[in-house]
Structure 1
Amino acid sequence: MTREQRRALLGDDVVNHIHQRIDEAPDAPDDAIEALRRIFARPATRSQPVPARRAA
């Protein structure tokens, strides 16, 4: 969905309200940003093995 499509669907008031709430939110801590950056750079990499599933 493009920015224009979202604006047409939601309307200017809703989009402006969303932008206002984003501006009010505190910045994320640097360690959280770095962790997310690693996740998005290599989404299939796991830091811990996935537990084996038990047969039902």
Structure 2
Amino acid sequence: MTRREERRRLLGTDVIEAIHARVAEAPALPEDAIADVRRILTRPAGRTTAEPTEDQTAA
């Protein structure tokens, strides 16, 4: 059973349809908000690589 099928079994078709209806009513996010979320999810610490620790720099 797929995750989708499992959710449908647990929640029921009526609940799934209500969720879809509420999502459809929500306003679209502005492009700058989408860009911010993408940046946060891809670089949560604001950097692309880990900075060396003191132990790594002393070695």
Above 0.5 in TM-score? yes
Question: For residues 8 and 41 of structure 1, do their structure 2 counterparts lie closer, same or farther at Cα, with a shift above 3 Å needed?
Answer: same
The whole-number CA distance in structure 1 between the counterparts of 2:10 and 2:4 is 10
Q: Counterparts of 1:22 and 1:28 in 2: how far apart (Å)?
A: 12
Count of matched residue positions in the alignment of Structure 1 and Structure 2? 46
CA-based RMSD of the aligned residues comes to 1.7
Q: Which has the higher helix share?
A: 2
* Residue ranges of structure 2 left out of the alignment (5+ in a row): 48-59
Identity score, percent: 57
Extract unaligned runs of 5+ from structure 1: 47-56
Query: SS at the partner of 1:19?
Result: helix
Q: List structure 1 runs of 4+ shifted beyond 2 angstroms.
A: 43-46
What's the counterpart of residue 37 of structure 1?
A: 38
